[in-house]
Amino acid sequence: MDLQQYANEKSEQIQEYRLQLSNISRIFEFAIKQGIIATNPIRMITIPKKKANLKKKKIKYFTKNELNILLGDAKKNEPYKNYAFLYLMANTGCRKGEVLGLQWDCIDFDNNILEIRQTLARGENRRLYLEEPKTSHSFRTIPLDDKTISILKSWRKIQRETMLQVGVNTMSSKQLVFSSPLNEFINMDIPNRWMARICKRTNIPILTPHSLRHTFSTLLISEGVNPKAVSELLGHSSVALTLDIYTGVYETGKNQHN
C-alpha cells in the first residue's frame, strides 16, 4: 500500500516516475536473491498512467549536418580516442555509461556486433565501478557497420602502442575499450567536456553525449525504421516507451513518408 501511494504521488509530480519505480524494483529483486524477502512488492502494484498535464521534457539532438560537423571536427582536432568514443555513441545509440564500461571482449570483430552486458556507474564517494545494466532489455546486441569496425580496430592499435610506451599491456580481452591515461575508468564528466569543446569550436548547439543517443534514434526514425527495431537497439523496456519519448519525431517522420 505504501508503494502504491508513492507511485501515485510521483506520477503526478515527475516525468521520470517509472524510472524511479524501476530502480526500487531492482533493490527488491536484489533482496530476493539475498534471501531477505520472498516477493517483489513493486510487481503487485498498479503502475499509474502518465498524467497529461505533466510538462514533457523536450529531447535534444543534432541534425544530420550538425552531427557530421561534430564528428568531422573530432577526427581532425581531438585525440583519436575521443573521436572513436563519440563516433561509437553516435552510431550505436548506446548510453554514455555503456560505452565507458565496454571491454574489448564485448566487441565481436568477426561478426561486426557489439554486446552490451555492463555499464559504468558511480557509487558512494563518486567511486566508479562496473555493474549490470538496469533492466533485462538493456542487455542487447547491436550491429556495427564496416566504418565503425574500422575505427575501433584503428583505436585498438593506437591504444596498444600508446599504453606500451608507459609500460601498460592492453592485450587482455578484459581491457577497457576507453580508459584514462593511467588505464583506469574515464570519469563520467570527461566526455561532456569533449563535446562542449567541439561544439564551441564549430558553433553548433552545445549538447551532452546523451544527445548522440537521441540523434541516433531520430535519424533512424526519419529514415522510416520500424519503432520496434529502434526500441530494441536502444534497450528500451517497450516500444511504447520509445514512442513516448520520440512522439514528435515519429509524427514528423510519418508526415514526410505520406
* 24-78 per-position pLDDT tens digit: 999 999 999 999 999 999 999 988 876 554 455 688 999 999 999 999 999 999 9
Phi, psi of 165 (to 5 degrees): -65, -25
pLDDT at 230: 93
pLDDT at 257: 43
Q: Residue 119 in contact with residue 130, Cβ under 8 Å?
A: yes
CATH superfamily of 64-213: Intergrase catalytic core (1.10.443.10)
What does the block give as the cell for 124? 558512494
Per domain, the residue ranges of the chain are 2-44, 64-213
Q: Residue 252 is which amino acid?
A: T
What does the block give as the cell for 136? 533485462
List 115's β-bridge partners, or say none. Answer: 141
pLDDT at 58: 80
pLDDT at 54: 44
pLDDT at 242: 87
Q: Residue 71 in contact with residue 83, Cβ under 8 Å?
A: yes
What parts of the chain have a pLDDT lower than 50?
53-54, 254-258
Q: Residue 216 in contact with residue 62, Cβ under 8 Å?
A: no
pLDDT at 122: 87
pLDDT at 247: 67
pLDDT at 114: 97
Phi, psi of 174 (to 5 degrees): -90, 5
In the block, cell 565496454 appears at 102
Q: Rounded to 5 degrees, what angle do the CA atoms 60, 61, 65 make?
A: 150
Phi, psi of 188 (to 5 degrees): -60, -25
Q: Beta strand pairing status for 113-116 and 107-108?
A: antiparallel
Nearest to 176 by CA among 212, 129, 111: 129
In the block, cell 543517443 appears at 213
